[in-house]
Amino acid sequence: MIEEKKSLFKRLFARFDFILFIVISLITIYGAFAIHGAVYNVPGLSKFSEKQIMWFFAALPIFLIISFLDYEWVRHLCWPMYLICIIVLVLLLFYGHKVKGARSWFAIGAYRIQPSEFAKIVVTICLAHFLAWKEKPVASLWDLIAPAAIVGIPVFLILQEPDFGTAVLFFPLFLIMLYAGGASRRLILLCILMTVWAALLAYPMLKPYQKARIKVFLNPEHDTKWHGYNIRQAEISLGSGGIYGKGWKQGTQTKLGFLPERHTDFIFSTLGEQFGFSGCVLLVFLYAIAAWRAGRIAMRARDKFGRLLVTGLISLFLIHIIFNIGMSLRFFPVTGLPLPLFSYGGSFLLTNFIMFGIVQSVGVKKVNF
């Protein structure tokens, strides 16, 4: 009996991706250093790096537990989780803690929880389950109704908070999962055209600050004092670091308070100012390794559901990275999406470790026991 248990654990750990685990841990610790360098002199924010490390140690056992569970459990529970997710998002509109005009968090004592972060994972699981369950790939607009509803209902509720940045990322996630599920390129192109058309119709209904962000993106000199101030300061901070940066805690734009949201939305600009181009390349390199290891697990998954699940989760991870870094480089409008494992935020860090725990679970369970 003892020998059987030893054999089981040996087989499990043999398939555990230690490189992936080490890389995501390094990114989190690297982020905590960058956060401390950004807020160490700001009253009320100086302890944020310590809180981030505390969240890291809280997320670690959850990550390990999920890693060694059979990932089929998320498939069996996906619809109850989806229903709970929708109920929580509805309650958030009435009882959520309002910050900067948006009800995106529940305040529990000194901590805030953002339900939309968990909604991303739940929607990804439900989409993976539905696309794996269908015997034939999505081939017509009629076939799109169910997966579009799975994504559309939480997106509608998130837009009511309003949290436009989070809502936007569901669209590329939806397209990637459709493609991974076997949908034709023609159908995906049609989805893109329909979305562009819907976005043009929806533009007049956007709030003034959302319209201003789009105008600043299209015309950088539109308003550098007000709506364009954030991105302008982000560019200055990022570019001023040069090759090797000004040094840890030595970023002048950050230290003097010119750069807003320095520990969340614009943490990449903070990193560039402190550690320069080399520090930014190091972070991108670590992200690339994490994506490569996760992609490797997806390719070796034992079934279609596992492959789609990892594809969706790693797509979420990469979409956040592309949008956040692109925002700092002015490739995209300001969306407010944080940088995975790097930006400050307990809910976001926890969901990232849950995501990678599920990814590890698919890798560990490549063989039936």
Show me where the domains of the chain are located.
2-364
- Which candidate, 277, 225, 230, 226, places its Cα nearest to that of 253? 230
Q: What beta strand segments (E) does 76-150 contain?
A: 97-99, 102-108, 111-113
Contacts of 355 (CB under 8 A, 6+ apart): 121, 313, 316, 317
Q: Per-residue pLDDT tens for 93-139?
A: 888 877 766 778 787 766 778 888 899 999 999 999 999 988 788 87
Please compute the mean of the pLDDT values over residues 259-273 and round it to a whole number. Answer: 86
Tell which wins on pLDDT, 203 or 250: 250
What does the pLDDT read at residue 18? 93
Report, as an integer, the average pLDDT of 301-316: 93
H or E element that contains 89: helix 78-95
CA nearest neighbour of 282 among 30, 36, 53, 38: 30
Q: Examine the pLDDT at 221 and tell me if it is beyond 70.
A: no
The Cα–Cα gap between 312 and 123 comes to 9
Distance (Å, rounded) from C-alpha 166 to C-alpha 155? Answer: 8
**CA 4 to chain CA centroid, nearest Å:** 39
Q: How many residues does the chain have?
A: 369
Amino acid letter, 18:
F
- The winner for highest mean pLDDT among 82-91, 140-149, 221-230 is 82-91
The rounded mean pLDDT for the chain is: 85
